[in-house]
A and B are shown apart, each in its own frame.
Chain A
Amino acid sequence: MNKIVTRRTLHETVTLMEVEAPYIARKAKAGQFIILRIDEEGERIPLTIAGTDQEKGTVTIIFQKVGATTQRLDCLNENDFLLDFVGPLGTPSEIDEWKGKKVAVIGGGLGVAIAYPQAKALHEAGADVDIIVGFRNASLFILVDELEVACNNLYVVTDDGSNGNKGFTTTALQEQINAGVKYDCVIAIGPMAMMRAVCNMTKPLGIPTVVSMNPIMIDGTGMCGGCRVTVGGETKFACVDGPDFDGHLVDWDEAISRSRMYKKEEQLSTEKHSCNLMDVELQTKRGGN
């Protein structure tokens, strides 16, 4: 059982939680993830670690209400408990390799939550970090203040231009490259369509590009093989071989198709968990925040 010590609504659909997990807090490195289960009936879902506080012994997770489990997770409050919380899983991201090098960390939407700890680790390790993040609109911003201090240059773009800077992350990256910035490495974290678009852009330019995959998995230790990703023609398990991979070698069509495998079931499950009554109850409990 792991206690939720902080719960903060970042915006309508994205929530931050700090969860008591001292062993994991002590060990976690950028790029690693945890698997949680809310209760006996719950499924196991992987979430990338967004930060840790070793003194408090907590692990930060940031999630978007996209399906049944994240919706149920969002219903929990401070001082509630999660039944299971295991990690840190996965191979940590390469950080030291980029010391003294010019790196662009690109985050899209919720991916920003994962891009942030990576950028921070790189920045602290002495890499020259540019961060490029994109959101659909300015009301969906998360972690912008934190990002500001984790890099040398921060570029924030919106699909609709509501922050006065219209464009996609790829557009912003292109602008930097056009302006003569030479990146030794690009790290792209976000929706698969975005990661693929970044890879398509950097491949012809020969800029090494690392992506963070977040496929469906159960155990997270290599046992189920549900998280298979084809990388350079070889089957890899994202949970143990990843989640970071060479983005130029990922079979994106397959990865996108695999991420959609349970779409129908997810809908069924989400409908079951999202009755109006529950929403009303929650509003009252939280004093309508």
Chain B
Amino acid sequence: MTGDTMAERGKAEPRTGGRVLEGQVAIITGAGQGIGAGIASALAAAGAAVVIAARRAANGEPAAESIRAAGHEAVFVRCDVTEAADVEATVDEAVKRFGGLDIMVHNAVAPAGRPGGVQFTRSDMIRPQIATATTASFLCARASLPHLRRRPGTLILLTSPAGVEGSANLPIYATVKATQRGIVKSLAREWGPDGVRVNAIAPVALTPAMEAAVTANPDLETRLVARTPLGRLGDAAADIGPVAVFLASSSARYVTGQTIVADGGGFLGL
């Protein structure tokens, strides 16, 4: 039985409809922690063999081990998503080890830096955000396309509500997250004839990055929760992971080019 409070109910085990991804292979970038790790856990619990693609083994190995300890298939591959060779090697490794690729999830993004207007963003923090969100989406798409066409599979990009409505305090982050929505819509049109679906998830969840932001600004969580109809911040594995499972599964076989906002109802503008 789940807890009585809203927060406890949010921690309930994800209901993913059983092993709906049995036999499938997934790569999740930025899966060493936070939302990427939550999505990897959910995809693995749904039956997919998962590749934890992360820049640092210190995060990636434990994330993969945690999934294996739960009885699922997972492997860590070191990957800097801004490097074409790394992304291609990660795809090659997934295909070599598991026999193909069905699901490519690009989640990694560089830190947004200190909140503030665009004129206050540190100059050297602009290009890394473009590289990890925009360039890397292109690299992940290009590298996975031949394999996704064969299955046919699906590409999922992690965007943000800020990528729709903009952000006063994280304007570069909002901008690069918006580029991913443009990529999703156009790739959905480009790849649709091959049966490859492309969608985005715009989550809000309590991740290590969010916890750091809350620590720095204790009012942040209160303000975020206050604008969230479900009254709590999301849980990466229990709330966001199942959305990825749905988009990757045959239940979503007629869904492409869409952004699913998984934020407890905070953003209602679509």
Partners in one complex: no
Interface residues of B (CB under 8 A from A): none
